[in-house]
Amino acid sequence: MNVVLLGPPGAGKGTQAERLIEKYGLVQVATGDMFRAALSQRTPMGLEAKKYMDSGSLVPDEVVEGLVEERLAGDDVAGGFILDGFPRNAHQAEALDRILSESGRALDLVLNIVVDPEVLVKRLTGRRVCRDCGGNYHMVFGPPEVEGQCSCGGELYQRDDDNEETVRNRLEVYRDQTQPLIDFYRPSGKLVDIDGSRSPDEVFADVASAVDRAGSAGVA
């Protein structure tokens, strides 16, 4: 099962990916997480990506596409992947088509998670992330049991791009460049709209039934 999670910043792509990994054993390929990991190791790519991430604009296509192509060649993704945060514009969507067709693969499902922009601003400015396991919390919608601490014991931090100004720019970039991908994927019949405004468990119930339906369609 090869899945794309499409949706604006804060829609809950990472939150739903975590649940998909647990239930279906899929491998998450999250470009934003890969850039943050590269940055924490101070690699040239991580330092380059930071310039774009801090303002909320997109890292250049050739950098992201090269990274994804390399990652999708890994043996561990042969059993299925969840792309979280890629593709983000038409050029990347075409690159993905090429990468998959060259390796005899295809997408099974594109989940379009829909949430109102003002809710997204609240979700992102209140988000806290675990430094150790990457777990996601929210100061109001899902606070940790111990303040500042993940259930794994790791320290919670706020992403540099989760301030209001950068969040608004990320939402604008989404509207201009990523939202048009809904029309790109709709005709394939593989796109399913998910109402992401409900609780994470309610959203996941719909996500899981879309995955199950796509899975049985593939077998038939």
35 binds ligand AP5 (CB under 6 A): yes
Q: Which residues make beta-bridge pairs with 27?
A: 81
Name the one residue in this structure whose structure tokens are 């899975």: 215
Spatial distance between the Cα atoms of 64 and 62, rounded to a whole number of angstroms: 6
134-193 binders of Zn ion (CB under 5 A): 135, 150, 152, 154
DSSP annotation of 188 reads G
Q: Segment 96-115, which members bind ligand AP5 (CB under 6 A)?
A: none
14 touching Mg ion, by CB under 5 A = yes
Nearest to 105 by CA among 8, 174, 22, 4: 4
Residue 142: name its binding partner from ligand AP5, Zn ion, Mg ion, none (Cβ under 5 to 8 Å by kind): ligand AP5
Element (H, E) at 81: strand 81-84
141 interacts with ligand AP5 by CB under 6 A? yes
To the query of whether residue 213 is one of the catalytic residues in this protein, the response is: no
Q: Which of 88, 123, 128, 190 is catalytic?
A: 88
Size of the site for Mg ion (CB under 5 A): 2
Q: Which is nearer to ligand AP5, 148 or 218 (CB)?
A: 148
Residue 94 backbone dihedrals phi, psi, to 5 degrees: -70, -35
What radius of gyration do the chain's Cα atoms show? 17
Sheet holding 81-84, edge to edge: 27-30, 81-84, 2-6, 109-114, 191-195
Name the β-bridge partners of 142.
138
* Residue 71 is a binding residue for ligand AP5 (CB under 6 A): no
| Interaction between residue 28 and ligand AP5 (CB under 6 A) | no
Residue-level length of the chain: 220
Annotated active-site residue in 19, 159, 168, 198: 159
Is 10 near ligand AP5 (CB under 6 A)?
A: yes
Neighbours of 87 (CB within 10 A): 26
How many chain residues interact with Zn ion (CB under 5 A)? Answer: 7
36 included as an active-site residue: no
Rounded Cα distance between 83 and 13, Å, is 9
Binding Zn ion by CB under 5 A: which of 47, 73, 106, 133? 133
Catalytic residue list: 13, 88, 127, 159, 170
Report the interface residues with Zn ion, using CB under 5 A: 130, 132-133, 135, 150, 152, 154
Report the interface residues with ligand AP5, using CB under 6 A: 7, 9-15, 31-32, 35, 52-53, 56, 58-59, 64, 85-86, 88, 92, 123-124, 127, 136-138, 141-142, 161, 170, 196, 199-200, 203
